[in-house]
Structure 1
Amino acid sequence: MLRSQSLKWSKAQGTPPQRFSPRSEQLPFHQHYIEPGGAQEGFEKWKQLLRGNNKEAMEKEELNSLGDMVEKYGACEDVVGTGAHGTVWLARRKAAKGENGKECYAIKCFWQLPSEPKERHSSRLKADFSIARELRHVNVVRTHELFQSPGDRFCKAMEFCAGGDLYKLVSSAGKLEPLEAACFFKQLLNGVQYLHEMGVVHRDLKPENLLLTTDGTLKISDFDYSECIRFGWEEETHTVSGICGSEPYIAPEAFTDDEFDGRPLDVWACGVIYMAMCTGKLLWNIAKKDEDSSYAKYLQDRRLEEGFRPIESLPQDGCGNVLYCLLDPNPGRRITVSQILKSRWVRGIQVCNDVGED
């Protein structure tokens, strides 16, 4: 499979290549060109938020006082992302003798919410780390270490993805090209299949938690709500409970059932994400027919011969039937990730990277 060229060009080179370039003479091969600094918008907002209170400088100084951390991952330089749970810093480790360039890492510093007791905050982050550190797959962000700052804040060292996240890409582009969306979708499925095989459900899949490299490799991140549903010595999976994640991506059974299989939740989210990539819009705000007219219309139209317009309007042959199975409101009938990957449509999708363990 073809890999993209490194994104390094200057004004003297003229207009940079398009974000996504299908190679018509060799279809279905393609290349991604995602400009580094995909998180710049969030960085600027963060800078404005902190302007005048020196909070950012204090956090940076605190992190860079950790000699072991700086030696392993480099000094923290800039904030490259913010979220509900903390801030993400870019750290660059100086190249060792004989190495070329610098290695980049993401250092995520977590906030303790006022409503969350300290012990619960600590146990949740440790549980998240215990799951994430065992994961080794090209479509899952690599987690290296969990440590505490001098200010007693938990921080996590992770693989850095210079292309930003899928949310910012879709927002800036409006919507993605069909082949581009399909490539990201299959990479997402490959990552989710690996998680489920490892006995892990993510429970918060959304574009903000899907990071990108500059050559278009998609990586699943943020395991704050993930759960282990099967340990290595077990054959049967455990059910999960409760509502977590972002409402537009949560499957309907989470709102109605006390306990449920966590894997169909991830499958449902994959379907909503794919439609968001293709249309640039969310299908609905919440999968509750009594509260969301768009979701109620989907439930009605999926049973009709003419179908649900957003799905029927997709250009790829064979994708509609798969999406209806993927977004089946009955989790017992919902298609599994393995079945999706075996479908004729998804088998025909060419991804831009080799899928496998790192």
Structure 2
Amino acid sequence: MDDASILKRRGYILGINLGEGSYAKVKSAYSERLKFNVAVKIIDRKKVPTDFLEKFLPREIEILATLNHRSIIRTYEIFETSDGRIYIIMELGVQGDLLGFIKTRGALHEDDARKKFHQLSSAIKYCHDLDIVHRDLKCENILLDKDFNIKLSDFGFSKRCPRDDSGRLMLSKTFCGSAAYAAPEVLQGIPYQPKVCDIWSLGVILYIMVCGSMPYDDSNIKKMLRIQKEHRINFPRSKNLTGECKDLIYHLLQPDINRRLHIDEILSHCWVQPKAQGLSSGVINEEGESSRGAEPSWTPDTPDTPATKLELQEEARSETRPEMQSKSKPDEETMQMRVSRQSDPTGLNGELQSRETEEGVPSRPPETHT
């Protein structure tokens, strides 16, 4: 039977196509039981690579069946037909994804960004407390419900973090997701702590929320890594960001994994707290840590220069979702980075070409972590 007939027998009336890849597709459907629209991910076992079938798909299904958080896309039902088609019935993000939202409306006001970032951080804390890491956090994987609340989605790269005999989390070696959102230790091929890498991605997402652009130009990975390890962050003057917001981003995009914020520290940060006025007197000292004193100056001593042309790059979903691509995913011992450039799909570059920036002070001389 075709998809419409199979879904009809389960009480779903098939709707429009929401997305399609090499061996998976996502469609909308109306649930006669739930009385509202849902999203249906359809995966054909016959068309998927072996490593995805044996590793990524079982992880995703097991984790989706576990998660229950108001800021994570809800999974209502998972079933499989005798011919190997898997149907995952999920909550529908009716307002689209965060990237499209920012593309249409521009950078968010800090109050709106604070609310959404708090929701996203709460979802990540929930996952991390369960030793689940997402490993593909990006604006395209953050959906919005009818009230524009955050709904984290796409757990195709997620996994449970294994622990050693002493109870410590084990390191991971697999490169997952988009280079533009990946932590520097991942891009360098260093065995990494997945939870800490999720935190870096949160920093990239928050920067995009309040600036409407990417914090780093990923057209040259080697150059981007050098800038990241020097802890240099350019903030657009035109956005008039508060010191508290810059402080949070600065400590999320921390190249030293031992000093990068943990999820509990993010949620307790003064900027994230809804009623707190925050670091009105907070500064970034020479060690890159918060202290009390005069309001930090983020303006460099050198003359103002135009911002580097960055692309808020929406990588093709076929490159970051295992169920949406035809190539096999890397195994746990392989680093396979996707750094191909694409034309700017967001329409944000025009704003960036003439914008002035101010630069965060490096916390310390460049370091190489090995």
Measured after TM superposition, the shift of residue 95 of structure 1 is 5.1
Measured after TM superposition, the shift of residue 276 of structure 1 is 1.0
Measure the CA separation in 2 of the matches of 1:345 and 1:85.
Answer: 42
How much is the aligned-residue C-alpha RMSD, in angstroms?
Answer: 3.0
Q: Does 1:309 align with 2:235?
A: yes
Measured after TM superposition, the shift of residue 121 of structure 1 is 2.1
CA deviation map 1:184-203 (0-9, x unaligned): 11111011011100110000
Measure the CA separation in 1 of the matches of 2:216 and 2:46.
Answer: 28
Local SS of the residue matching 1:88: strand
Residue identity matched to 1:81: G
Q: Does 1:190 align with 2:122?
A: yes
Describe the shift of the 1:178–1:131 C-alpha distance in structure 2 as closer, same or farther (beyond 3 A). Answer: same
Q: Does 1:214 align with 2:146?
A: yes
Partner residue in 1 for 2:266: 340
Measure the CA separation in 1 of the matches of 2:45 and 2:214.
Answer: 30
Measure the CA separation in 2 of the matches of 1:310 and 1:113.
Answer: 48
Q: TM (normalized to structure 2)?
A: 0.66
Residue identity matched to 2:42: C
CA deviation map 1:239-278 (0-9, x unaligned): 2212110110000011224421101111111110111122
Measure the CA separation in 2 of the matches of 1:113 and 1:323.
Answer: 44
Higher relative helix content? 1
Q: TM (normalized to structure 1)?
A: 0.68
Is the CA contact (8 Å cut-off) linking 1:80 and 1:88 kept in structure 2?
yes
Partner residue in 1 for 2:111: 179
Is the CA contact (8 Å cut-off) linking 1:312 and 1:320 kept in structure 2?
no
Is the CA contact (8 Å cut-off) linking 1:133 and 1:143 kept in structure 2?
yes
Measure the CA separation in 2 of the matches of 1:298 and 1:252.
Answer: 7
Partner residue in 1 for 2:39: 106
Measured after TM superposition, the shift of residue 147 of structure 1 is 2.8
Local SS of the residue matching 2:222: coil
Describe the shift of the 1:108–1:289 C-alpha distance in structure 2 as closer, same or farther (beyond 3 A). Answer: closer
Measure the CA separation in 1 of the matches of 2:105 and 2:238.
Answer: 22
Q: State how many pairs are aligned.
A: 275
- Candidates 233, 238, 261, aligned match of 2:193: 261
CA deviation map 1:214-234 (0-9, x unaligned): 102111111111110158x99
Over the matched positions of the two proteins, sequence identity in percent amounts to 27
- Candidates 311, 315, 319, aligned match of 2:245: 319
Measure the CA separation in 2 of the matches of 1:311 and 1:286.
Answer: 22
Give structure 2 stretches of 5+ with no counterpart.
277-370
Measure the CA separation in 1 of the matches of 2:122 and 2:53.
Answer: 31
Between 1:281-290 and 1:159-168, the stretch displaced more is 281-290
Measure the CA separation in 2 of the matches of 1:287 and 1:113.
Answer: 35
Describe the shift of the 1:204–1:314 C-alpha distance in structure 2 as closer, same or farther (beyond 3 A). Answer: farther
Partner residue in 2 for 1:291: 223
Measured after TM superposition, the shift of residue 314 of structure 1 is 4.6
Local SS of the residue matching 2:2: helix
Measured after TM superposition, the shift of residue 82 of structure 1 is 4.1
